[in-house]
Amino acid sequence: MSERAPLVIGHRGLPRLAPENTLRSFELALEHGADGFEVDVVALSDGELVAGHSLDLAELCHGAARGDAAARTLDELRRLDAELATLEQVLELAEARPDAGPLLIDLKSTGLERPLIEAVRRHGLQERTLLCSLERAQLVCLRELAPEIARSLSYPADRRRLSERKAIAPFVPLALYGLRLRLRRRIHGWLAQTGAAAVTLNHGVIGADLVRSCHEWGIAVLAWTVDDPGVRQRLMEAGVDAIITNDSRPYRQEHDEIE
Asked if the structure places residue 2 within a domain, the reply is no
Domain count, the chain: 1
Please tell me the predicted confidence (pLDDT) of residue 159. 60
Residue, of 180 and 159, whose pLDDT is higher: 180
**Tens-place pLDDT, residues 240-249:** 999 999 999 9
Examine the pLDDT at 199 and tell me if it is beyond 80.
yes
Report, as an integer, the average pLDDT of 10-28: 98
Please list, in sequence order, all residues whose beta carbon lies within 8 angstroms of the beta carbon of residue 80, skipping any fewer than 6 positions away.
57, 61, 64, 65
Percent of the chain residues past pLDDT 90, beyond the cut: 83
Q: In CATH, what number is assigned to the domain containing residue 31?
A: 3.20.20.190
Q: Please give the residue range of the domain that contains residue 145.
A: 7-258
**Is residue 137 very low, low, confident or very high in pLDDT (cuts 50, 70, 90)?**
very high
Report whether pLDDT(168) > 80: no
Residue 1 lies in a domain: no
For the cut 80, the answer to whether the pLDDT of residue 259 exceeds it is no
Q: Per-residue pLDDT for 55 more than 70? A: yes
Of the CA atoms within 13 Å of residue 199, those in its CB half-sphere come to: 28
Cβ(222)–Cβ(200) below 8 Å: yes
| Over residues 208-216, mean pLDDT | 97
Q: What percent of the chain has pLDDT over 70?
A: 90
Least confident range of 42-56, 138-152, 158-172, 200-214: 158-172
Q: How many CB atoms are located within 10 Å of the residue 36 CB?
A: 23
258, pLDDT greater than 50: no
Q: Average the pLDDT over 65-80 and give the result.
A: 94
pLDDT exceeds cutoff 90 at 175:
no
Residue of higher predicted confidence among 172 and 90:
90
Residue 233 has pLDDT above 50, yes or no: yes
pLDDT for 66 equals: 95
pLDDT at position 206 is 96
In a domain, 201, yes or no: yes
| Chain mean pLDDT for the chain | 92
pLDDT at residue 251 in the model: 87
Cα separation, 173 vs 158, in Å, equals 15
* Whole-angstrom distance, CA of residue 82 vs CA of residue 137: 34
Residue 90 clears pLDDT 90, i.e. is over it? yes
Are 200 and 132 a contacting pair, CB within 8 Å?
yes
So what's the pLDDT on residue 252? 76
Q: Which residue has the higher pLDDT, 251 or 221?
A: 221
Question: Would residue 69 count as lying in a domain?
Answer: yes
> Which 3 state secondary structure label does DSSP give 182?
helix
Structural domain includes residue 14: yes
- Give residue 165's pLDDT: 52
Q: Is the pLDDT of residue 171 over 50?
A: no
**For the residues 214-225, what does the mean pLDDT come to?**
98
Q: List the one residue out of 159, 167, 114, 168 whose CA is nearest residue 141.
A: 114
